[in-house]
A and B are shown apart, each in its own frame.
Chain A
Amino acid sequence: MSILVIAEHDNAELKGATLNTIAAAKAIGGDIDVLVVGSGCGAVAEAAAKVDGVSKVLVADNAAYEHQLGENTGKLVADLGKNYSHVLAAATTTGKNMLPRAAALLDVQPISDIIAVESPDTFKRPVYAGNVIATVQSSDAIKVASVRTTAFDPVAAEGGSAAVETVDIVDDAHVSKFVGEELAESDRPELTAASVVISGGRGMGNGENFEMLYKVADKLGAAVGASRAAVDAGFVPNDMQVGQTGKIVAPDLYIAVGISGAIQHLAGMKDSKVIVAINKDEEAPIFSVADYGLVADLFDAVPELETKL
């Protein structure tokens, strides 16, 4: 078996999600090649070559791949993927955008969001907002799967010394163009990688009140998340949404503040090791998944929490 893992990166840095994806590849077993597709991404390829367990790094470095537009990268992944038994990518927005496109070109039914490898052709994945876990077997010759990163412990970033090979294929579909982006800038850890996450919901009342959460976060080295209601209301930007359709997190500690605990929110955080809920409604469903529940007004409890830490 030979597995092609698509690296998650921003042309400058290899992202941690790649290490979780390689862990899933190891669970399948076989040679693991990593594809770095981007522009000016040499440093990423070098970092990928050092990752434990990688046999070979393929680098497709071309202006056409600068913003990793799925129309271009999907074609490249299909072109290269046909030589492998498995193609894996992290279930990030980049992976989710590109991978099904590649799979369709390979005439493969992809498997989204795998959380366990049962055998090289059988995987577990959550459906119905995580209320059901399905065990799915693929009969396609090539298995194409996206990996839920929180379900696989990352492999070591160091210890390998893979060869780096250049790929000359330039796939430019000429149907899409990058116009611009607004990326959130923050000194706090990334939501999906943080060991502590504190999230606010509709109960926060407005965006300014999130300041209280940022203060606690800074004391704990935590990332700050939000419910959909808080994002929809414009309190905070979309990249902070945790849930079925937002980010999936599984930190050591998740603190839900003013969040009721709808199934769509739970889908994104209920695999956290320890869950704390602060809510003034003792009937709130969030308490049914919380290890420690505090029935209190958040406007009293959160500032007090900050001073006691």
Chain B
Amino acid sequence: MKVLVAVKRVVDYNVKVRPKADGSDVDTANVKMSINPFCEIAVEEAVRLKEKGVASEIVVVSMGPKQCQEQIRTALALGADRGIQVETDAELQPLAVAKCLKAIVEKEEPQLVILGKQSIDGDNNQTGQMLAALTGMGQGTFASEVNVEGESVKVTREIDGGLQTVELTLPAVVTTDLRLNEPRYASLPNIMKAKRKPLDVTTPDELGVDIAPRTKTLKVEPPAERQAGIKVADVAELVEKLKSEAKVI
């Protein structure tokens, strides 16, 4: 079966971003960009399904400016077979991304679409659910285990109370949580090979999708700073401070 994986180019998780001085946006000039960690887990899961003989082809999609081809190449180096870039320099909000993905799903007809549960820049946690809604597919969100069994997929989900397992009819959408797998590192030969794998470029226009943003960011600001605290000498002083100063115990 064919698996479609969506990946996003984001500011690397080790970078501490800051708002620009004028509060118009975050400062992303000259910061390291990477594939969103949850998307990397999505690619890894697809590659494992291929290694198990469950998946036959892995198509990886990314949306955004030309540079997001780097993240597509990363996914190709990890084992995806071909890439699709939806090129645009405009701001893409999750609903628009879901609509573009829907158009690609209609063309490619994958049996499984795997996405990260959230991207670590916008922290929205929406795209997979919205794609599932628009295509009428079932959604296995926040997955920590995925088992394809014939015409369906069993997904174990990380929920607030513990774990929940659901069974979805294929085709279906899965979004990854952190414990689904540990992504491999791409080997140098595979990075070289990835350069020759096919990568098609399309646009939201060609897909017939209106990507006009529905929300506007009026300003960004740093969160309230915590006041610097003190170091206590020992447990006795800690307990004393918590009792008489902070009055929380």
Find residues 113-171 in chain B having any chain A CB closer than 8 Å to their own CB.
117-118, 120-127, 129-134, 136-139, 141-142, 144, 154, 157-169
**Inter-chain contact B129/A133, CB cutoff 8 Å:** no
Contact A132-B160, Cβ < 8 Å, known A71-B139, A177-B167, A294-B231: no
A112 contact from B125, B131, B214, Cβ within 8 A: B125
Q: Which of A69, A100, A133 has the most CB of B within 10 A?
A: A100
The docked-state distance in angstroms from the alpha carbon of A179 to that of B168 is 10
A252 contact from B123, B138, B248, Cβ within 8 A: B248
Across the two chains, which residue of chain A brings its CB closest to B140?
A: A176
Q: Which residues of chain A are near B222, meaning CB under 8 Å?
A: 131-133
The docked-state distance in angstroms from the alpha carbon of A202 to that of B122 is 28
Count of inter-chain pairs, beta carbons less than 8 A:
255
| Interface range, B side | 35 or more
- For residue B94, CB closer than 8 A to chain A, the reply is yes
Q: Which residues of chain B are near A71, meaning CB under 8 Å?
A: 132, 138-139
**Inter-chain contact A179/B126, CB cutoff 8 Å:** no
A93 contact from B16, B136, B158, Cβ within 8 A: B158
CB distance from B200 to the nearest CB of A (A): 26
Across the two chains, which residue of chain A brings its CB closest to B229?
A: A291
Q: Which residues of chain A are near B126, meaning CB under 8 Å?
A: 100, 103, 110, 112
Q: Which residues of chain A are near B214, meaning CB under 8 Å?
A: 108-109, 138-140
**Inter-chain contact A274/B242, CB cutoff 8 Å:** yes
- For residue B221, CB closer than 8 A to chain A, the reply is yes
Name the prevailing secondary structure of the A interface residues. Answer: mixed
- What is the interface size of chain A, counting residues whose CB is below 8 A from a CB of the partner? 90
Across the two chains, which residue of chain B brings its CB closest to A254?
A: B248
Q: Which residues of chain B are near A244, meaning CB under 8 Å?
A: 120, 123
Contact with A along B8-23 (1 / 0, CB 8 A): 0001010011110000
Segment at the interface with A among B42-50, B65-73, B232-240: B232-240
The docked-state distance in angstroms from the alpha carbon of A177 to that of B134 is 19
Known contacts A109-B215, A275-B226; 14 additional CB pairs below 8 A are A101-B133, A135-B221, A136-B216, A173-B136, A176-B169, A179-B165, A179-B166, A237-B163, A238-B144, A245-B118, A253-B249, A291-B246, A292-B238, A305-B238
Q: List the 3 shortest-distance A-B pairs measured between CB atoms, nearest first.
A: A109-B214, A104-B130, A100-B129
Contact residues of B with A, CB < 8 Å? 11, 13, 16-19, 26, 93-95, 98, 117-118, 120-127, 129-134, 136-139, 141-142, 144, 154, 157-169, 172, 177-179, 213-223, 226-232, 234-236, 238-239, 241-242, 246, 248-249
